[in-house]
Each structure stands twice: as C-alpha cells, then as structure tokens.
Chain A
Amino acid sequence: MKNTITNQSIKIFVSRWVITLILFIPTLAFAQQQIKGKVSGQDGVPLSGVSVAVKGTTRGTTTDAEGNFKIEVATKAILSFSFIGYGTKDVPVTSGQSVVNVALNEDQQNLDEVVVVGYGTQLKKEITGAVQTVNYKELKDIPVSQITQKLQGQLAGVQINQTTGKPGQGMSVRIRGQVSVTAGSDPLYVIDGFPITGNIGAMNPDEIEDISILKDAASTSLYGSRAANGVVLITTKKGKAGTNVSFSTFTGLQEVPKRGRVEMMSAVEFAQFKKEYYEDAKQPVPVEFQNPSQYEGKNNDWYDALLRVAPLQSYNLSITSNREKARTSVVAGVFNQKGVVINNDYKRYSLRINSEFDVSDKVKMGFNLAPQYVFDNTPRTDGDRGTGILFNALHTWPVMPIRDANGELTLFNKFPASTGNIFAYANWVRAAGELINETTTTNLISNAYIQYRPIKGLVLKSTFNVEVLRSKFFFFNPSTATSAINVPVPTTAVSIRENTENLTWLNENLATYSKSFNNNHNFELLAGFTNQKFRQESTRTQADTYADDRLPTIQGAININRAGTFNGVQEWSLTSFLSRLTYNYKGKYLFTAAIRSDGSSRFGSDNRWGTFPSASVGWVISDEPFIQKFPEISFAKLRASFGVIGNNNIGNYTSYALINNTVNAVFGNTVSAGAVVTSLANKNLGWETTRQFDLGLDLGLFNNRVQFIYDFYTKNTTNLLYSVQVPQESGFGNFNDNIGEIKFWGHEFSLVTKNTVGKINWTTNFNISFNRNIVVALADGIDRVYGSFHITKVGYPFGQFYGHVAQGVYLNAEDLKNSPQVPGRSTVGSIKLTDQNGDGIITNGGDNDDRVIIGSPFPKFTYGITNNFRYGNFDLSIIGSGSYGNQLLVRHLYSTANLDGVFNMVKEVQYRFRSPENPGKGFYGTTVGGGNVTGIERDWMNSRFIADASFFTIKNITLGYTIGAVNKAFKSARLYTSIQNAFIFTQYWGGPNPETSANGAGNGDGGNLSQGVDLSNYPVPRTYTLGINLNF
C-alpha cells in the first residue's frame, strides 16, 4: 500500500514539473537575417548539440543531429560556436551572408590547463607531484548538498563513503587509505588558500569553481604538520569575461528503497517464535503468545514507521562580471531538504561575494565574503542499541502497537514480565517527532588580500583570512517521548543548550619571484611566513524535570544538571615559514623542492617546531625526439617525489598534566571538593610524521583521446600519537606518547577515454585504487591493541575484526562431546566455535584465547566509473562507484539474533536449531538454557557478525536536454532529470547501506581502532530529481 502511494506521488510530481517546464519555454521571436550552416569536427563528422550564440546578445541555438543550425542575426554579428571537448570558435558574419559552415578543433587536451596547487598555480604539464583534479562542471548537477558527495567515484586513491543518510552529514573522505590511531584521518580542506576549521559538508557546492586534491608529500609538504592526511584545495568562483547571470534549480523526492532493509520477523512470526521458545524450554506459554495467528494483520513495522518520502529543493543564482578593473562573482543559494526520517529538516542559505580590484598596474586587492546559515533538526537516529532510534526500532517487538485503538501514537509499550519483556520500549515515532535536536550554524568566511608587483617577476602578497562560526544546539526531550530503550514514559523532560563560537584567523605573507633565462631555464621561488590562531568557546546548560513540556526554558526546569552544565575553551596557534623552488629546463626536465617549518602550541614545550621538506622531479618524455617518433603517444611524463609531512591533530592540551577538581567527596552530609591528577605531562609530545614516496606516469595516447595516470606510493607513518594504555596500578589508564609505525602503500590508476566523438560523444572515466597498510610497530613491549571488536597487531593491517570463528551449532550430544566447548556453557544446539589455541576448550578474553582475525574493514580496492554521452541536445551521464573486499560488522545482530526473545529478531532466526531432529539451517542456535548458553553467540564477537560489504553503486544517472538561446529570455537552458543512488549491487545483508562505517565504542582512541561497524545508521535514500539551469 505504502509503495503504491509513493509511486503515485512521484508520478504526480513528475507530471506537474513537465507541464511547468513546457509552459516556461517561450516561442521564438523575429530577427533580421537568417544564417544556416553545418558544424563538424576536423574529421568532417557532423557535430550535434553545438551551442551557437550571437555574441553580445542573448540569442543562440544548438545544432541538430546532422550538425545543422539556423539562426537569425543582425547584419553585422559574430557567431560563437562552442562544444564541450572542443574549442570555442568565433566567426564574423558579413552582410548578406547566409551560410556559415564551421569545423571545430578538438581541445588540445588540457595540457595548457592551469592547476591550483598549494600556494599558487602550475601548468598541468609541469606538475611533479600527485595532484588530482576533477572536471567540476560535469558534477555540477548532481543533486546533493555536499561537495564530497559529488566527488564519490571520481578520484583515484580517494575513498569517499557516505556513512549515514543524514542530510549534510556523514561523508568519510580518506586519501590513500589514511588511518591514524587517535590523530584523525580527514584531509585538510583549504578554501581560497585558507585552511578551514569548520565543516566542509555545509559549503554550498555551487560556489565552487575548481577542486584539486593533493595526494603525495611533494604537493602537500607546504602544509607541513597538517598535510599527512592529504589536502583538498577548493577555489571559489571568480568574475569571468562579460556579465553572466545564471539560475539553477532542482527539486526532487527521496525515498528509502525496500530492498536492502533488514528483514525482521512480523508480529505473527515473532509470536510463533515466543511460543516455540517456551515450548522448547518446557515452560508454560504466556497467554499473549498461545495463539500467534491473533496478530494476523496487526504487524507493526517500527522501522518503516519512522520513514517517509521527503522532498528536496535547491536554488542557486549566480552572477559573474568583469568590468575594466573590477571582477566580481556572486553566488546565492538556498537548499532545503527534508529527511526521509520523519521530522528531519535541513536548510541552508548561503551567499558568496568574491571581488577583485586592480588598484593600479602593480597593485591588486581582493575580498571574499561568504556568510552562511544552516538549520538542521535531526532526530536521534544513529547510534548503538539504546541510543539510536533506528536501531531501537529494528528490534522492537512487532506485536507492540505503534498506534492505539483511537489511532493515537502509543506512549510506551511493555508486556508483562512473564512474557520475557525485559526492556520497555518507548514509541520511536514519538521520539522522532517530538524530540527537538536542532543545530543552527551561522558562519562567515572572509578573505582579504593585497598583491604588489614592484618589478617584473616579483609578486608580494599579504592575506588576512577570518572564519567566524557560531553554532547553537538545542535539545529537548519532552516527558512524552524518549530515544532510549528501557526508559518508561512519561519520562523526565530534559533540555540541553550548547552555544559554540569559533574564531580562526590566518595571516600569510608570501613573495614569489619567477625568472626565465633564454626561455630554457625557468625558475620560480616562493617564500613566506604565516600565523594562524583558533579559539573556540562553548557553553552548555542542561536542565531537567519540567512542569510543562510546552515551556522548555532553563527557568522552567526544576533541576539544573550540574554535570551537564559547563563551559569550555579550545585554542591553538600555529606559526610557519615556508618556501618552494621550482625549476624546469625547457618545460621538459622538472624539479621542485619545498619546505615548511611549523611551530605549534599543541606540541610539548621541548618539541615545539617541526620541519617538513620535500623534493620532486619530472621528465616530460614526450618532448624527447625518440618518443616523438611515435605519433600515437601524444603526451608522456614520469614523476617521482619524496617528502616528510605531519599530522598535528593530537588535541590541544594533550602535552599537559591535567587536574580534575570535581572528584568530590562527601563527609557526613557535607560535600567537599576533591582534586585528582588525571593525566601525565609529556613535554616531548609532537606530531605524527609521514615519509611518503610517490612514483607516477602520465600518458596521453591517440591525440589524447586516451589519458592514463598511474601512481605508486609508499608512506611510513611514525610517532603515531597514541594514548598508550599503561597498567592502572599506576593510577593512570593512559599516557599520551608518540609511538609506533604504520606502513602504507598503494597503486592508483585512472583512465579517461573518448570512446566516440562526433554525432555521439561518449567518454569514460575510470579509476581504481589499491591501498594497503601494515602495522610495523606499536609501543615497546606492546604488540597489540584491542578495539571494540578489533585488534591492531604488529605484522597485520590496522584495526582488523577480531573474534571467534563460528562453525555452526553442536548438532547432537555426540557432536558436543567430541568438540571443544565453552566450559559450563555449551549445550547441544549452542554455537560451535573453533578451538584456535588447541587447548581443548573455548575461551574468550586475554591474549591467548581462541579469537583470531576474522575480517577487515579495509577494501582490497575501490573504483569508480563515469560514462558521459552526448547526442544532439541530449546528454546522459552515469556515475558508479564501488568497493571490493571489505567487511562490516553487523552490530544489530547482538539484539536481533538474541535468542532469548528479548528483542524482535531477523527472519532467519526462525530457522534456528530446535532439536537434533529439527536442527534448522545450522546458523542460529538453541534458545534453551537462557543467557548462559545463548549469550555466547551474541556477546562473544564471532564470524557470524561479519558480512561482505563489497558493493557497486550507480550513484547517479542524469539525463539532460540543452536548449539554445530563446530570444531575450535566456542565452541557454538545460533541463535534466536524475536519480541519485539509483542502484546498489551488493551481497551485503546487514542493512541498506554497505558504505556505512561507524566506529565502535573506542578505547580512548575515539574509535579509530574500531572502524567498520554498521550501527544501522540513517539509510541513504534514493533521490529522483528534475532540474533546470538558465543562463541569461
């Protein structure tokens, strides 16, 4: 029923849009002179879909399938022909001329393309590091809110996963398989030269002109102690020639496909299970379950009840202008997304104004201002059992009613204790709808610079950048709902308010001098120094016990929660010197050396400065005569680089010993303040050091119709910041130290091919990356560190799943007798685990038990493939991205395969072991014996929890149609429709999203040692959209 409604509403929606669009297209108007003609490529093949514009007017058209066009022009005019993949050609029309035939040249494959690199730009041809660029224009119309979503599947060596479907959140970006124990693995995002400290997910993607990803040490070392995770350089839109106004909008509907959801028992199946449970235990069946068929037609799908079909809309208006000595670009955006979980609402209003002024021939000034407002109300969907309502909904008894007889949402469901209902369940639909969990963020990024060119070749530039962020979090849990299990409703109403203010400023002073001798020896020297400071202040107030839920003020609360009320300050500063020398001989032999020295407040007082050098060389082989004999090879370059970079995400005050002075005691009835030394000081604490080597080959074949890039890299990360566990006989749990070594290596391939040109234009962009790591050393005397369900062990890859190997169940008394058992717990029908240490029994815990490595959260390879087609005015693009060979830990099974019938269960539990005569499928064991028996299979991590999470997702399919100029209405327009997350091909059975990867609870490491856990996060919806772009 639900499905039908969904489909219907989509149909209605689609038809409305089509009608609107048709009405919108005005009829053609009159003109003075008609020109006809044909556009073809150099090979004479007609080109369809070429845009033909009359320069200086808004008039234009496109060529038809045969390459023909017709256009009305004034007597003297210039026709401008342009087509993606081909150059632009301007043809003057003489008076009386009626036919213009044009041959367009293919783009001389972007070798003259200028690429943004750290602290400057470089010709693509002359780059010696591993710098990856994307054709951002092609990704423009992907209907998502985050830049990183658009980049999925586009970049070799960059794994981008959407770990949760929450709007505006949850993108995990890992460059070259980066992992760290505690120091964070996210790349550094630099917007217009300013390393931001806020959330890149909130940036309006329409503000972006260009993105470069710096992967190797040679290209990142100018970012020194922040470079080890890779750097993403984002350049925002600048004023371009003429005045261009464009408006783009899309609207769509999102839904969570049925396929891929966890298959849970229905009410009847659940009641049947409970009946059998008591029968097998030889206990009387509780009256509620004596007749399972009474629940026929009374199923309650709690998970589905939380979901809805939800709309999203985006509007962007952009103006760029270039007048004499001033260039301006304005982008205003509105993004509005309702989440597929009820009551989830995400809105973004953003504006960016970039201006540049030529004050004189020698002096230039520029100012960028980008204010933004983001509102986000998100139900507490994600989290482990008891905390995330999606997880809670999964395992709630389906016999518990969502709505009562009057159609009202129930408050709270609890069956009598005699039914084995241990946990009381609040109504999760209320939890989603009635809890307020909203964050409003206002931020402003601004850049100002002045540039002075005193003599030819020398540029002095001083920049001042400020980022201000205010975020306001408000949480209110009314008395009528809760997101936690086993909390009776009505509950204690709680409010939390948290205000955070961040201020970051950065001053950079750079000098660049470039000089060329005889056009053969080309030098560029960069030198500069920078200062950056960050300060965050936060205030949190928590209050509870409200007289009236309608007044969730602080003063309306009866109690202020002391432990939840506090303020905090986080601050860091960074002073740096940097320099780079670039030299090439005839653009053929290339050399670059760079160095940065960082002084950071985060480092211990005896280890304050770190220096990060790099060098790289390149050889454009295709410029050598012996290669030029092979005309098939249009371009070939070999690159090699080596450098040292750092990771300074070690926390702000980690090197200090801290006192906790709230460890209070009581004497009699008097509270007395108590103070405890909670950590040990380390004056030598420093950054993590990564030494990276990269070898690359860039190849263009057949007039660059085939372009190939290959990179091999190795990275050695040492001095990993780790809170080394120490025996607690010392009174401390951990000691912050730089220890250990991880070695990474990998291969990256990307291939762009123009399969067909001409009438049908088809290009394919394929990339694949293989990343590996191995732990070389941990702290002295420590060969392993345990995570939640994981082990990080010397000689093995980082953070592997660690547990028992399940072999099925003990089928009968003989099997039990002849097999190793868990002493005192194994019975006939209980889970049979493998005796790995050969001691004849199964034990769990300690270093010498029966656990082994049973899987890895790291893929063997990741890949992406994008196909773009163009035929006439139509364009089609299909973007796919995939991952192979990684596993996920299906966390919900510890509830949904809890054989004590405490929670609702996955359907498969119906086929459990019941007796030697009725052994089921051999996967789930007997229910007899209670937790002492069944606890083994849910509480002891074992291979049943591990699922293959390889996937290939068609991320996006877009079909577009471009219309040329329509009189004065607009220069050109494009209509398109797209499906985001169209199809997922996967064997993964643990939930709808094989890309998910939460961290386990963590062991003082923020969970980095415990990656790859599926906590039944917010599902990623499929989105159907219609959009239009208008250029005026």
Chain B
Amino acid sequence: MKKILIISIILGFTQTSCKENFLTIVPETALSSATFFNKEADFQQAVNAAYVPLRSIVNDRAYLLGEMHSDNTYYYRNILFGATEQQEDIADFAVPTANGVTSNTHVLNNYRLDYQIIARANQILSQIDKVEFNADSKNNLKGQAMLLRAYAYLELVQYFGKVPLHLTPVTVRQDAALPLSTVDEVYAQIIKDATQASTFLLPKSKQEAGRVTSGSAKTLLANVYIVQKKWAEAEKVARDVVTSGEYGLMIGYENAFSTNTANKNNQESIFEVQFLEGSDGLNGSIIYNFLPRPMSPEELKPITGTSNPQPLTGEGNNAPTPDIIAAYETGDLRKDASIAVVTLSGSLRANKVFPYIKKFAKTHTLHGNTGNNWPIYRYSEVLLYLAEALTEQNKVSEAAPFLNQVRTRAGLKASKAVSQTEMRNAIYQERRVELAFENKRWFDLIRTGRAIDVITAYGNRIKANPVDYYYPEGAIPRSNAFTNISLLYGLPADEAALTPYF
C-alpha cells in the first residue's frame, strides 16, 4: 500500500516537474500567428482575404452612400414600415451629424469595411519581405495588397476627407487609434501605392481573372488625378490603359455586366467585385435591395427567375428617380438596359407601377442568392476619364472620339459639343447615364463642385411633389429631409467613442 502511495506521489511530482509542457496548450482547430505568414501560400491566402470586404461594401453599403445619396435614386417609401431611417437619412441628406461625427450605421459599416481591407493589406506588406520566395509572384501579391489599400483609402478620403492613415499592422492596444491625416497626405499615399502597384501587377491578360491588374492600378490613378484635377497626369495613365490593348467596349451596353455565372471579367471590365452563387457564402443579393415593395412572389419571379421566390416586405432602396429617367437622351439604348418597371398589386399608391434598376437584375437559381459581379471600373469610364482630362486641358477635339466611342455603343450620335464648356457638360452627362447606379454619381457631383446646387434643387422637387418620388398619396417627406446637404459624411460615432482623435 505504501508503495502505491509513494508511486502516485512520485508520479504527481513528475507531472509537476514538466509543468511548462503540461501548461502549454495551443489551439488545435485554428491557426495562430506564430505559425502563419511563413510561406508563399500563406500570403496568397492573406491577399485573397483582403478582397473579401469589397463584397459587403458593394452589396450592402456603397449604393447607399454613393448612389442613393444623389439625384439618381431614392427609396420606395413604405409608411407601414419602420426602422428604415438610417437609409432614409442618407437619401434625404439628413444624416444626423454633430461635431463632424454621425451615428449612421451605413457610414460606420463602410468605414470599418474599408479599414478591414487596409489592415489585411498592412499585415501582408509588413511581413512579406521577411519571407523568401519567387520575386514575380511576390511582386504580384504586393501589388494587389497595395492597390486594394489604395482603393480603400480612396473611398475613405472621398467620403470623409481627413482619416487615420494606417500603413503598418497594429500589434498593441495603444496603437489602435491614429490621428487624422490630412486629405493631401491620404491622396499622396494612394498615389504612391497605386503607382507602385501599377509596376508590380501583371497586365490583365496575364493575371488570374478577377484580380486587380496593372490596368486596374492605372485606372485608379486616373480616377485620383481626375479628382485632384491633375489633368496631364490623368491623361497619361488613362491613355496607357487605352493603348494597352488589354481592354475594349463590349458590343451592346447590357453585355458590359456579368450575368449570374457568365460574362464575368469581360474585356470591358477593369476591376469588378466577384460573387459566386451558392451556399458557400460568396454570393450577393444586391438586386433584392433595389426592388420596390411589397412585392409578391408572383411579381418577383419574372425578375429573378428563381425556383423559390419569396415575398418582399419592408422598404426598397435605389429607386431610379424621375430625374435619372429623364436624363437619358431619346434613343439611348442604355435606358431600357438599365431601368424597367414592375406593377405591385399590394402597393398603397394609386399608381402601382414602379421603375427599378434592371441593369444588375440577372436571373439566378435561388431566392436571395446571386452570383453576378459588381463593376468598380469599366473601360468606358477610362474613355470618359481620358476625354475629360483632354477637355480640361482644352484639347476638346482630341477628347471627342473617346466620348463618342461610348455614345456610339449606346446607339447615340456623336456629341455636338464644340466648346470646352459644352464638352465638359457633355462628359458629365455621359458619365451620369453610362455609369448610372454604379455608385459614381455622388463622387462626380462633389469633385465637380455641383453637389450643393444639384441636391438643393432635387430636394425641392421631392418636397414639392413627393408622389413623383414614390411616396404614397398623403405621405410627405420627413421634416428633416434635405437639411444637411454637405460634401462629406461625418466620421462614425462608434469609432469616435473609441479614439481620442475625433
């Protein structure tokens, strides 16, 4: 008996003596940072993940902040349905803002999603040079990380102006918040990243379809230079894209956009956010956000073609306004490719016919699960960038062919614009209809200095005639509608609560 006791005590001591082993237990079902970022495949995966927040940005937020926050679209007012003020505030230019801060959730979410891209890119860029592997593939990975970071900062700086500029990963709690950087500092970083990315990245013909390319980098640079009114620089990079031979307009405007499974990353596509139908969580559902309500399954089925259409309730968004509908010239093939109408039997309105955005409504298999991609940059935009850069340098006749390429495809005659001002306005008009519902309108209005005037007039039209803007008879816009027409969104309140810097 004594022996047993002694043995068990010795056993106990032995266990205790190797206690550091006994006490070290690493997670078995998750990788930890100690073992990650040490081979090419790890960085490949990290780069892939840096693309992921884009899905949520375009599916859930960008159309609110970039399109419905303009005279192109409005919401389909449903007076029976509450908890919609977050979207309504954006469309009504009534985002509650105090001391440069707003509690709007869509603003918050878009902000956080952009910083997710940035943090993931920073993680890659800070570690990748510590690991040896093939220089070409390393450059391609670095280029992607840089360009995604540049894209995220471009969104941020256009929405918010001054933002924190994170370029290295955060490792301790105290570094989580940074002071706001100036707009110039942010743009300088975007240009630096995009310029470097344009040399690191592969051209479209050599890159895996769906990833960013050197052409994407140059287009983003053109975008930045246009915003900054650096016309010569914009001309140069846009021309590089045009002369690269990598891109061309699709025949037929409607073919510029991917269907549920096909026509993705086509020759007109410079960068698009990738979706995949199915149960892997890689799908989109964006067109459901764009439909008027209440819509019965019978009314929905012709639009989506699914086997299991379900009723849509609540309040729909991104209703094409009478303004955008009127903006199409007679004979513009893009109008019918972009907008269609649907009749809702359950509507409270006398007029139960509603326009909706057709451009992205591609048939798919299951309700709420779409696979079509979302365009960020298309070749037609590069043509219009080039035309604009030339026009602003007073090379109007040189600009005209690029504008007319876009018009011809839309079934329109060549532009009659002759003077610089005429040509400028023609390009603005062309951008509006060519890029309608692609979340370009608000950025265009602010960069061209037209935002306040255009939106004020637009707000007055809604208030004067709400029924034209899809209000049920008797309903009127909320009393705060169009009371906060400002060029920038406030920074998110939830972030403000956590940072000492704003």
Contacts and interface: CB of A to CB of B under 8 A. Distances in A.
Contacts of B123: 677, 731
Contact of B479 (A653, A657, A680, A823): A823
B79 A659 contact: no
Given A674-B48, A676-B49, A731 B120 contact: yes
A669 B259 CA distance: 12
Contacts of A96: none
Contact of A726 (B42, B116, B176): B176
B282 interface: yes
B245 interface: no
Interface stretch (B355-363, B448-456, B492-500): B492-500
A290 interface: no
Given A729-B115, A732-B119, A845 B346 contact: no
Most buried by A among B83, B118, B173, B313: B173
A932 B78 CA distance: 10
A360 B32 CA distance: 54
B96 interface: yes
A935 B85 CA distance: 9
B8 A509 contact: yes
Nearest to B123: A677
A735 B264 contact: no
A939 B83 contact: yes
Nearest to B8: A462
B177 A729 contact: yes
B376 to A, nearest CB: 14
Given A418-B346, A599-B19, A845 B25 contact: no
A171 B118 CA distance: 45
Nearest to B297: A488
Contacts of A681: 32-33
Nearest to A538: B29
A407 interface: no
Contact of B33 (A531, A600, A659, A724): A659
Interface string A653-681: 10011111101111111111111110011
Interface stretch (A4-12, A182-190, A556-564): A556-564
Contacts of A660: 30
A71 B281 CA distance: 81
Interface string B309-326: 011011000000000000
B374 to A, nearest CB: 12
Interface stretch (B9-17, B189-197, B230-238, B387-395): B9-17
Q: Is the interface of B mostly helix, strand, loop or mixed?
A: loop
Given A452-B1, A601-B25, A728-B495, A939 B82 contact: yes
Interface string B9-41: 101110110011011111111111110100000
Interface in A896-936: 900, 902, 929-932, 934-935
A488 to B, nearest CB: 6
A658 B279 contact: no
A931 B310 contact: no
Interface size range of chain B in the complex: 35 or more
Interface in B42-58: 42, 44-46, 48-52
A186 to B, nearest CB: 23
Nearest to B2: A452
A825 B282 CA distance: 38
A900 B314 CA distance: 12
A661 B52 CA distance: 12
B23 A601 contact: yes
Given A731-B170, A931-B80, A939-B82, A569 B478 contact: no
Contacts of B176: 726-727, 729-730, 732, 735
Given A529-B12, A575-B19, A668 B265 contact: yes
A668 B208 CA distance: 8
A416 interface: yes
B64 interface: no
A667 B210 contact: yes
Contacts of A672: 44-45, 48
Given A531-B15, A531-B22, A731-B115, A824 B478 contact: yes
Contact of B82 (A664, A823, A930): A930
B52 A657 contact: no
Contacts of A724: 173
Contacts of B481: 824
B266 to A, nearest CB: 11
Nearest to B88: A932
Contacts of B171: 680
Given A509-B12, A656-B27, A668-B264, A730 B170 contact: yes
Nearest to B122: A731
A782 B177 CA distance: 13
Contacts of A562: 279-280
Contacts of B116: 728, 731
Given A422-B313, A450-B4, A568-B29, A728 B112 contact: yes
A864 to B, nearest CB: 42
A896 B1 CA distance: 70
Contacts of A64: none
Given A668-B274, A726-B176, A730-B115, A653 B9 contact: no
Contacts of B80: 420, 422, 900, 902, 930-931
B46 A675 contact: yes
Contacts of B12: 462, 507, 509, 529, 531
A731 B84 contact: no
B303 interface: no
Interface in A833-850: 843-848
A666 B274 contact: yes
B401 interface: no
B460 interface: no
A359 interface: yes
Contacts of A727: 164, 176-177, 495, 498-499
B50 to A, nearest CB: 8
Given A562-B279, A653-B30, A666 B173 contact: no
A665 B49 contact: yes
Interface string B193-221: 00000000000000011110000000000
Contacts of A796: none
Interface in A424-454: 424, 450, 452, 454
Contact of A667 (B78, B211, B281, B348): B211
Interface string B66-91: 00000000000011111111001000
A661 B27 CA distance: 14
Nearest to A486: B313
A673 B45 contact: yes
A460 interface: yes
A677 B33 contact: yes
B499 A729 contact: yes
B87 to A, nearest CB: 12
B224 interface: no
Contacts of B417: none
Nearest to A932: B478
A930 B170 contact: no
B120 A729 contact: no
A329 to B, nearest CB: 24
Contacts of B25: 571-573, 601, 652-653
A23 interface: no
A3 interface: no
Contact of B5 (A283, A460, A669, A676): A460
Given A417-B346, A569-B29, A601-B25, A931 B15 contact: no
Nearest to B12: A509
A665 B27 contact: no
Contacts of B170: 680, 726, 730-732
B122 A674 contact: no
6 contacts: A424-B311, A464-B8, A507-B11, A509-B8, A599-B19, A658-B30
> Which 6 A-B pairs rank lowest in CB-CB distance, beginning with the nearest?
A931-B82, A731-B119, A824-B480, A674-B49, A667-B210, A845-B103
Given A663-B52, A843-B98, 6 more contacts: A599-B23, A666-B275, A726-B498, A728-B112, A729-B111, A931-B84
